[in-house]
Structure 1
Amino acid sequence: MQVVDSHIHLWDLSTHRYPWLENPGVSFVGDARELKHNYLLDDLLGEAGEIEVLKLVHVEANHDPADPVEETRWLQSLADAPESRGMPNALVAAVNLSAANAPALLEAHASFANTRGIRQILNVHQNKLYDYVGRHFMRERQWREHFALLRRHDLSFDLQLYPSQMEEAAALAREHADTLFIVNHAGMFVDRNSVAGYRAWRDGLRMLAACSNVAVKISGLAMFDHRWTVESLRPYVLETIDAFGVERAMFASNFPVDRLFGSYTDVWRAYAAIVADASEADRAALFRGNAERFYRI
């Protein structure tokens, strides 16, 4: 099976600082203590097994917020090395768009050849177990002013949020129709123990999908389903594809985070089993073509 993995993370704890891995703990996404080790390109490719990884998209790994550009500089050096085959082929960098130095950081990130987009995690939840950032960035004036600068640098925005935030995000996407938004982890369906929670996720996906400048990554499903099976993932995969259509959805591994709950080959085999009845053209789009198109690689 050939794939373009549109959501991976690498880190080198011996040369770079990742505050979340300095004293990792256990959260809803699993035991981060098991991630406190270097995870480099050779590690990912080494466990790919029968999966032929053609290209990779690296998404910022919560690197030291005091110097987010250093992460991009390091990753570009990896991609430029002859033995890397250009991987990671696309970089989604970190910027706190509410900060005064956000314009300078955007310009610095954009100066690297493989930079394609920006991610700033937006997840807010009333339950502290699930709350990432504790503030509604999309409602802040300076954040929104700096967001408008993405278009100047031809940068996309990886949108990581919860269903309760999707209505606001859809309004933002309509306001910035010339900026590409890419929803992370199928919209992070967190409140899955109630009918209202399911409706919020389902309807929120469709609100976002109604914006032609929004695409979605089907990834990170194990974060909310630690004992996942093909059948437990199936409804979430198919609902997401139904909302966005094959032309605006793509599969990704979210490795090494999802490695806590399954192997690299298991994740990709599960996706393949779920869409086994799709046409060859549709499978090519979901596994390779859409990621290449949206991340321009």
Structure 2
Amino acid sequence: MTAPVANYLPVRADWLALEPEAALEPDLAIIDAHHHLWDRPGWRFLMDDYLSEIAGSGHRIIASVFMQCQTGYDEGLAPHLRPISESAYVAEQAGRLAETAPALCAGIVGHADLRLGAAVEEVLLAHIEKGRGRFRGIRHITAWNADGTLMNPLSAGPPGLLEDATFREGFARLAPLGLGFDAWLFQPQLGELTALARDFPETTIVLDHLGGILGIGAYAGWRHELFRSWSRSIRELAACPNVVAKIGGLGMRINGFDFEKEPMPPGSTRLAEAWRPYIETAIETFGPARCMFESNAPVDRGSYTFTAGWNAFKRLTESMDPEDRMQLFAGTARRVYRV
């Protein structure tokens, strides 16, 4: 068993093995729009582990996008420069696979403290250099809630960060450098992101994990009411043409689906049933050309297998137009992250 780290669900390989599932439509090309690599106490998931995940899944992952997670930080650097070493590390790992899997981590999204204001440009330029042509944008996590049980101590942000003037000064440096912004927040903060998107229409914003759906702590037991509120917020956000939605990340502790509490891991049919209202709403609202699927590996493995997750996405879209499906599984990610 992998120990829980920083409020993540533990990955129980023995439990996941109880419900083996073969890949549906194994020839369908997929760009995994969001995964991590890390080596944390009690939890290792580096490039070779990701390659093993892909190989064992039966799915055809043709490319991927790495998402910042404080990996490979050089503690010898000044704190504001340490995230640059993550881009350098991931680019080096990706380069190692140049002949066998050249498109893994073809896009890198790193971190820079946008509260540096205009001075963040130094960090952004260094990311671009160290990323070896793979660097695509920044994720500065802004997730915050008055219920502290929801917070991840590795990335807890102060309230109102998206409205902060100095943060926005740093944010304004992204678009001129051809960089986008990945937004990770909780669903009550979606209105703040909508305001940011309206004020910076030239900056591409990617909404991670469908906007941080909540179902634990103060939000437990309010699934239907919270869905209605989330749906309204998603529709307002989708009115901003510079925003695209990343679909996945629905196996996290905060979502409150409680898959991990079941005696058997959920298969793709069970996942599709639980996720259908959210995923269908997102696709209907943003449109397939502004949505992309993600594995959120290894985080979501606390709730279901890599194979079952992608199978659920395939089940939920099986009746769609083939061109629309292509956008969801590869086209949108290819365009947004230039992979």
Cα distance between partner residues in 1 of 2:228 and 2:120 = 35
Q: Paired residue for 1:30?
A: none
Identity of aligned residues (%): 30
Cα distance between partner residues in 1 of 2:283 and 2:206 = 14
2:325 aligned with 1:283, yes or no? yes
Question: Which of 203, 206, 221 does residue 250 from structure 2 map onto?
Answer: 221
Q: Paired residue for 2:107?
A: 90
Cα deviations by residue, 1:193-236 (Å, 9 ceiling, x for unpaired): 33542232111111110000000000111111231522111111
Question: Which of 273, 284, 296 does residue 242 from structure 1 map onto?
Answer: 284
Question: Which of 147, 152, 173 does residue 127 from structure 1 map onto?
Answer: 147
Contact 1:192–1:198 under 8 Å retained in 2 = no
Q: What is the letter of the counterpart of residue 282 of structure 1?
A: D
Cα distance between partner residues in 1 of 2:242 and 2:164 = 22
Where structure 2 has 5 or more consecutive residues not aligned to the other structure, the ranges are 1-25, 260-265
2:212 aligned with 1:212, yes or no? no
2:37 partner SS: coil
2:115 partner SS: coil
2:50 aligned with 1:47, yes or no? no
Question: Which of 28, 31, 42 does residue 4 from structure 1 map onto?
Answer: 31
Contact 2:35–2:64 under 8 Å retained in 1 = yes
Q: Paired residue for 1:78?
A: 93
Question: Which of 141, 158, 180 does residue 182 from structure 2 map onto?
Answer: 158
Cα distance between partner residues in 2 of 1:243 and 1:188 = 17
TM-align CA RMSD:
1.7
Tell me whether 205-214 or 222-231 shows the greater mean CA deviation: 222-231
**TM-score of the two chains, using structure 2 as the length reference:** 0.77
Contact 1:56–1:89 under 8 Å retained in 2 = yes
2:128 aligned with 1:110, yes or no? yes
- Alignment size in residue pairs: 276
Question: Which of 230, 246, 255 does residue 201 from structure 1 map onto?
Answer: 230
1:4 partner SS: strand
Contact 1:110–1:153 under 8 Å retained in 2 = no
Cα distance between partner residues in 2 of 1:211 and 1:86 = 30
Q: What is the letter of the counterpart of residue 42 of structure 1?
A: D
Q: Paired residue for 1:257?
A: 299
2:162 aligned with 1:144, yes or no? no
Cα deviations by residue, 1:124-168 (Å, 9 ceiling, x for unpaired): 112111133233211221111111000121100001112221112
1:99 partner SS: helix
Q: What is the letter of the counterpart of residue 60 of structure 1?
A: Q
